[in-house]
Amino acid sequence: MKPAASDQHYGASSADDPYLPESGNGGYRVTRYDLELSYRVSSNRLSGTVEISAVATQQLSRFSVDAHELRVSKVVVNGRRAAKTTQRGSKLHIWPDRPIRVGGALSVEIRYTANPAPRSGPWGEVGWEELTDGVIVAGQPNGAPTWYPCNDHPSEKASYRFTITADSPYTVVANGVLTERRTHSSQTTWVYEQAQPMASYLATVQIGQYERLALATETVPVTLVLPPRLGAAARADFGDQPRMIETFARLFGPYPHPGYTVVVTDDDLEIPLEAQGISIFGANHVDGHAGSERLIAHELAHQWFGNSVSIRSWQHIWLNEGFACYAEWLWSEFSGGASADKLARRTWERLDDLPQDLTIAAPGARSMFDDRLYKRGALTLHAVRLSLGDDAFFDMLQQWTAEHRDATVTTDEFIRHVARFRDQSLAGLFNAWLFDRDLPSLPKS
């Protein structure tokens, strides 16, 4: 539908992503979020101010941000109180005091309060969630607006600064480098600087009565944050984390972030979660016998595939999950376990017994986290490896992560990238694995 003449300068209140049609916004691109948050665990009371720095991509007399059940009290645009604001559903619509020109700087300060809670969708509940004693944030795919106003789409990568105040018994973890911690009376303020561009769903806050442990590493600082009662078992389970990072750095290219933090909650979690520079596990993933080693490898691999190299839209989710799943098999192979080829062929046998009704390159919103997508995505990569040979395959992966570091990618871009490493066309391979529903045979070892 063509907008009315009076709406020509309204930024779209959607990123036009059919997988999440109500998420994201048009008319501007965010470059930075500066969040100042104060949180009371006992009452689940969040007070926040976010300053959004952006650039207008069209003339704007109105624009929108995502803000799910946040109570907005004040909006300032470029130093002037907004002329008008309205909240409808999960959107905050803002009319600036004067129109913003194309290419103009856009600074938006939003003050708000909330008793944040996760939002429900086809993938369960996502967002800010209370633990028994603390907080977990699981943002994927549309949970970010449950705790801060944002332009919530994976293509919108920005730098962040988090200033978070909570009661002093609690440790607060957020993305980036901890640059300051100061205690005043009964509260402590934690300041984290996330310099590398980050998608909104990867922003996180984790709060609990945790201790921080440093794991030995020569190149990448690794921190384990966990309840004291789990210390010994967690050290055993995550003790290989530095060696895992070094192995993946040899295979995928240098680790892309300043450090890596693993948070273990005092509660059980259904599945582990990844955020940029952080992975989150539940107490049930700790047994002292490396029972979750496969999952540990999977979440770590997302630091390259998903967090540094990010998808441009949710349709391309296999580029996150297929790569992370294949990393599980590579860790097994390069750490002395079963080879990736052996694990791939076992997986192929299991998939062959399941319905063949999923297109990996376009799974649809309800199926984008289907386990078959994860496994078939990994099998696609193994088929590419067998076709290229190991030297060309790992060279291809390293150049992929180097050329697209801190950027966003699509399936077509990956196909064109792989073509540079093989004289003969792999179009038939990609068509069979990514665009056809029937499960193709794996190439011979």
Q: Among 269, 303, 337, where does a domain finish?
A: 303
Q: Are residues 49 and 177 located together in one domain of the fold?
A: yes
Q: Among 284, 303, 322, where does a domain finish?
A: 303
Q: Among 303, 332, 351, where does a domain finish?
A: 303
Q: Are residues 284 and 319 located together in one domain of the fold?
A: no
- What local confidence, expressed as pLDDT, does residue 14 receive? 85
Which tokens belong to 181? 């911690």
Q: Pairing relation of β-strands 278-281 and 260-264?
A: parallel
Runs of H (alpha helix) within 221-289? 231-238, 241-252
Q: Are residues 204 and 107 located together in one domain of the fold?
A: yes
Q: Are residues 151 and 227 located together in one domain of the fold?
A: no
Which domain, by its residues, includes 271? 210-303
- What local confidence, expressed as pLDDT, does residue 182 receive? 97
Q: Are residues 415 and 318 located together in one domain of the fold?
A: yes
Helix, strand and coil in the chain, % to nearest 5: 30, 35, 40
420 DSSP assignment: T
- 152-to-14, 141, 208 alpha-carbon distances in Å: 9, 9, 26
**Cβ atoms within 10 A of the Cβ of 339, count?**
14
Q: Are residues 174 and 215 located together in one domain of the fold?
A: no
Report long-range pairs for 191-196 (Cβ below 8 Å, ≥24 apart). Answer: 191/161, 191/162, 191/163, 191/164, 192/160, 192/161, 192/162, 192/164, 193/160, 193/161, 194/159, 194/160, 194/161, 194/162, 194/276, 194/277, 195/159, 195/258, 196/159, 196/256, 196/257, 196/276, 196/308, 196/406
Going residue by residue through the chain (445 aa), what tens digit of pLDDT does each one get? 334 434 568 888 888 899 999 999 999 999 999 999 999 999 999 999 999 999 999 999 999 999 999 999 999 999 999 999 999 989 999 999 999 999 999 999 999 999 999 999 999 999 999 999 999 999 999 999 999 999 999 999 999 999 999 999 999 999 999 999 999 989 999 999 999 999 999 999 999 999 999 997 788 999 999 999 999 999 999 999 999 999 999 999 999 999 999 999 999 999 999 999 999 999 999 999 999 999 999 999 999 999 999 999 999 999 999 999 999 999 999 999 999 999 999 999 999 999 999 999 999 999 999 999 999 999 999 999 999 999 999 999 999 999 999 999 999 999 999 999 998 899 999 999 999 999 999 999 8
Q: Domain tally for the chain?
A: 3
Residue 431 resides in a domain: yes
The enclosing domain of 394 has a CATH number of 1.10.390.10
Contact (CB, 8 A) for 50 and 35: yes
Residue 262 resides in a domain: yes
Q: Which amino acid is it at 182? A: R
164 DSSP assignment: E
Q: Are residues 264 and 156 located together in one domain of the fold?
A: no
Dist. CA 318–CA 313, nearest whole Å:
11
The enclosing domain of 40 has a CATH number of 2.60.40.1730
> Coil, helix or strand for 401?
helix
Dist. CA 246–CA 197, nearest whole Å:
23
**Cβ atoms within 10 A of the Cβ of 78, count?**
15
Which tokens belong to 123? 């993938």
Q: 102 — phi, psi (to 5°)?
A: -60, 130
Q: Are residues 299 and 362 located together in one domain of the fold?
A: no
Q: Are residues 49 and 97 located together in one domain of the fold?
A: yes
Sign of CA dihedral 338, 377, 294, 296: positive
Looking from the CA of 133 toward its CB, the CA atoms found within 13 Å total 10
Residue 445 resides in a domain: no
Report long-range pairs for 186-190 (Cβ below 8 Å, ≥24 apart). Answer: 189/163, 189/164, 189/165, 190/162, 190/163, 190/164, 190/165, 190/166
Dist. CA 108–CA 31, nearest whole Å:
12
Question: Distance between the two ends of the chain, CA-based, in angstroms?
Answer: 53
- Nearest CA to 65 out of 37, 101, 106, 97 is that of 106
Which residues, other chains included, contact 336 with Cβ-Cβ below 8 Å and sequence gap of 6+?
none
User: Is the overall model pTM greater than 0.85, yes or no?
Assistant: yes
Residue 441 resides in a domain: no
- What local confidence, expressed as pLDDT, does residue 187 receive? 97
Which tokens belong to 254? 């240098």
- What local confidence, expressed as pLDDT, does residue 267 receive? 98
Dmax over Cα atoms in the chain, in whole Å?
A: 68
User: Which H or E run contains 81?
Assistant: strand 80-81
